[in-house]
Amino acid sequence: MKYKLLLVMVTVVWGSSFVIMKDLVDDVNPAWLLAVRFALAAVALALLSLKHRKLFFQREYVKYGIIIGLPLFVGYLLQTIGLTDTTPGKNAFLTASYCVMIPFLNWAALYRKPNRFHVVAAFMCLFGIGLISLNEGFSVSFGDAFSLSCAFFYALQLIFMVKFGHDRNPAVLTIWQLVVISVGSALVALVTGAPLDFSMLGGEAWLALVYLAVVVTALAILFQNVGIANVEPATAGLLLSLESVFGVAFSIALGYEALTPRVLVGFLVVFAAIVVSEYVPQALARKRTLR
């Protein structure tokens, strides 16, 4: 249970980041923004993990950190580029579609067939998130396509973390994932000739960038990796999809959006999806044992 709560806590933190990222990508090239954000995050997490420094350059950690980090890099890059051409709500919804992909990727990669409750819950969750996040007519734009594409790579990273992260130090693996994203983003920026210009960022924007780097990135991804290494992949994907729900909840709490009947129904559907995934199978199992 504690690992599931850890994943929920991660989604609360991530949910606070959508509006911040939208504001930042309006002023800074997405690739450079990711390069700087993840470089700061890697340094911060390395400093917090000095007691494990003997593991930093061990071959298995470098190898698996890079393997797990590559799909995460592609996912973040596609999501951030997508955010330049779509709304935060649609970006969150399309990203959260990985909760539907995970049971099937898990089946293909790890040969763990999803049960019917996980499959039903995944589609219920996606429907509920759609009710919450989509506030205008759904039309597919350039940004929407990138946002949807990133979901596949997030699902793949979660499967890789389950496969390669178990029984390995999650902090050290996370550091290498952050390094991969930073270096990969910098290479993309250099190849595309993107200007490195942070001059438009004021004091508040720099504080927001530090918050993104340390809390939303270094600590949250570490906690995510700890959680998904100890939770069934389908369940982990379902819980992590709450990110977009909390994103809308923060907007409502701060007065950016209204709590409409449709949003309320969406919250209830997502809650019902978690019940279907987590508690219905347990209740049926207990009922069978009592017979």
Between the alpha carbon of residue 145 and those of residues 98, 101, 137, 158, 217, the distances in Å are 14, 16, 15, 21, 24
**DSSP letters of 146-196?**
HHHHHHHHHHHHHHHHHHHHTTS-HHHHHHHHHHHHHHHHHHHHHHHT---
Give the side-chain half-sphere CA count within 13 A for 145.
Answer: 3
pLDDT at 173: 93
Q: What pLDDT does residue 138 have?
A: 55
pLDDT score for 44:
94
pLDDT tens track of the chain, all 291 residues? 788 899 999 988 888 877 777 778 777 788 888 899 999 999 999 999 999 999 999 999 999 999 999 999 999 889 888 878 877 767 777 777 777 788 788 787 767 777 788 788 888 887 887 787 666 555 567 777 888 889 889 989 888 988 888 788 999 999 999 999 999 999 998 998 777 777 767 777 888 889 999 999 999 988 988 888 888 777 787 788 787 778 777 777 777 667 788 878 887 888 788 778 767 776 776 776 665
Structure tokens at 222: 């570490």
Contact 132, 266 (CB under 8 A): yes
**Count of domains observed in the chain:** 1
Burial class (CB in 10 A: 0-12, 13-18, 19+), 286: exposed
What's the pLDDT score for residue 70?
96
CA-to-CA dists, residue 200 to 30, 36, 212, angstroms: 14, 15, 18
- Give Cα 179 to chain centroid, integer Å: 17
Whole-Å CA distances, 56 to 33, 50, 68, 258 = 25, 9, 15, 47
Do the beta carbons of residue 112 and residue 172 sit within 8 Å? Answer: no
Residues 6 or more apart whose CB falls under 8 angstroms from that of 187 comprise none
Other beta carbons within 10 angstroms of residue 66's beta carbon come to 16
pLDDT for 134 equals 67
pLDDT for 60 equals 94
Residue 170 CB partners (closer than 8 Å, separation 6+): 222, 225, 226, 229
State in Å, rounded, how far the first CA of the chain is from the last one.
27
pLDDT at 126: 79
Residue 245's nearest CA partner among 260, 265, 261, 267 is: 267
| pLDDT (0 to 100) of residue 175 | 95
> What token pair was written down for 216?
């939303």
Domain extent, residue 245, equals 2-290
State both tokens at 52: 């494990």
Please give the radius of gyration of the chain, using alpha carbons only, rounded to the nearest integer. Answer: 19
For residues 23 and 201, is the Cβ–Cβ distance under 8 A? no
